[in-house]
Copies of this chain bind each other. A is one copy, B any other.
Amino acid sequence: MAAAAPFDQRFGLDRRVVLPGPLALDGGGSLAPVEIAYETYGALAPGADNAILVCHALTGDQHVASPHPRTGKPGWWERMVGPGRPIDTDRRLVICANVLGSCMGSSGPATTDPATGRPWGMAFPVITVRDMVRAQALLLDHLGIGRLAAVVGGSMGGMQALSWAATFPARVGAALVIASTARHSAQNIAFHELGRQAVMADPRWKGGDYDAAEPPAAGLAVARMAAHITYLSEAGLTEKFGRRLQARPDSPDGAKSFGFDADFQVESYLRHQGLSFVDRFDANAYLYITRAMDYFDLAEEHGGRLADAFSPATRFCLVSFDTDWLYPTADARAIVHALNAAGAPTSFVELSSPYGHDAFLLESPALDRVVRGFLGTGT
């Protein structure tokens, strides 16, 4: 397998590109130019036929297998992407781009509105999952990649994978959709709306025109806490924390304070999740991306019939987790039924895990086997 041309600045870690656009948007209007921050791992084969696009989830980013620049933590899917890993960068070119509307370098409410020279804030156009996918297609054009060997994603990444296959069937050889759904349910929307209201209730939000040094951190932390509860299963929370009390200097085994400190370990955990999130994520971006997810209804985009979204040109693999109550197995099964009706080659597995929705990000040899088996050894 030959490597891509050496010193091709389009490939590598921490890449940024400004594409002229215009990118037509589902909500009307268009965006131009389109900034995209992305990373690539491995090398493009001479036939440009070994590319795998990895799509990230709500609060993920392009650092799928490189340290996060703000937190220093390992990439969010290092166990899955790398040399010899299930998504094998010895054989594949792996691309991961920060989604449109996010805050890690791609166009979003925190980037500069060319019309004003100031951050877009809430003047940024509301975008959809399909808009994110269209922006990624522009990036692939820029990279000289006509067709993806596969598109892979979990949660909102899975929505993008579905939207890729529906929007550009000729450009997607295979789609691997993990812990995801073809439409946001009323309960999904409710949790997101709760988070948005928490952000917008924070006086520091200021209609989105906050100073980057004084963001609505309190509201965003509450939003993150709410979301985090949905990522874990009841059984997982019980196993991990139960009703165990937080250790204190004067009480190593913990004791009820009969106050409003974080007495229970689960309280400390949630507070920590909320507080650490605000250091790495933008509040307006959180509003925009949750909105895109709530609008996601793939059947609606195709006349109300989900089967009409799909073509037999792409082969599919659906994975769900038995304790995921955010996007339960029934959601994956509905997609599989539609794929069967569309005549698309489809495999489907429900994996067992105590960890709920978060399972797709955690150590799971069973998931590794499924990913490896579905993607094969590639070119």
On A, residues with C-beta under 8 Å from B are: 26-28, 122, 125-126, 183-187, 189-191, 193-194, 196-198, 200-203, 218-219, 221-222, 225-226, 229, 232, 234, 237-238, 240-243, 256, 258-260, 262, 264, 266-267, 270-271, 274, 287, 291, 294-295, 297, 300, 325
Q: Shortest CB–CB separation between residue A97 and chain B, in angstroms?
A: 23
A297 contacts across to B, CB distance below 8 A: 243
With A201-B219, A225-B193, A271-B197 in contact, is A258–B186 under 8 Å at CB?
A: no
- Please measure, in the bound complex, the distance between the C-alpha atom of A221 and the C-alpha atom of B193, giving whole angstroms: 12
Question: In the complex the two chains form, is A201's CB within 8 Å of B222's CB?
Answer: yes
Q: Shortest CB–CB separation between residue A266 and chain B, in angstroms?
A: 5
Q: Shortest CB–CB separation between residue A280 and chain B, in angstroms?
A: 19
Closest partner residue, chain B, to A237 (CB atom): B186
Question: In the complex the two chains form, is B243's CB within 8 Å of A260's CB?
Answer: no
- One complex includes copies of this chain to the number of 2
A266 contacts across to B, CB distance below 8 A: 186, 189-190, 193
With A201-B202, A271-B197 in contact, is A184–B287 under 8 Å at CB?
A: no
Q: Say whether chain A's binding surface is mostly helix, strand, loop, or mixed.
A: helix
- Please measure, in the bound complex, the distance between the C-alpha atom of A28 and the C-alpha atom of B219, giving whole angstroms: 34
A194 contacts across to B, CB distance below 8 A: 222, 225-226, 229, 270
A242 contacts across to B, CB distance below 8 A: 186
With A201-B222, A229-B191 in contact, is A184–B243 under 8 Å at CB?
A: yes
A197 contacts across to B, CB distance below 8 A: 221-222, 225, 270-271, 274
A234 contacts across to B, CB distance below 8 A: 185-187, 325
- Please measure, in the bound complex, the distance between the C-alpha atom of A243 and the C-alpha atom of B297, giving whole angstroms: 9
A260 contacts across to B, CB distance below 8 A: 122, 126, 196, 200, 287, 291
Residue from B187, B264, B271 within 8 A of A229 (CB atoms) = B187
A186 contacts across to B, CB distance below 8 A: 234, 237-238, 240-243, 264, 266
Q: Shortest CB–CB separation between residue A23 and chain B, in angstroms?
A: 15
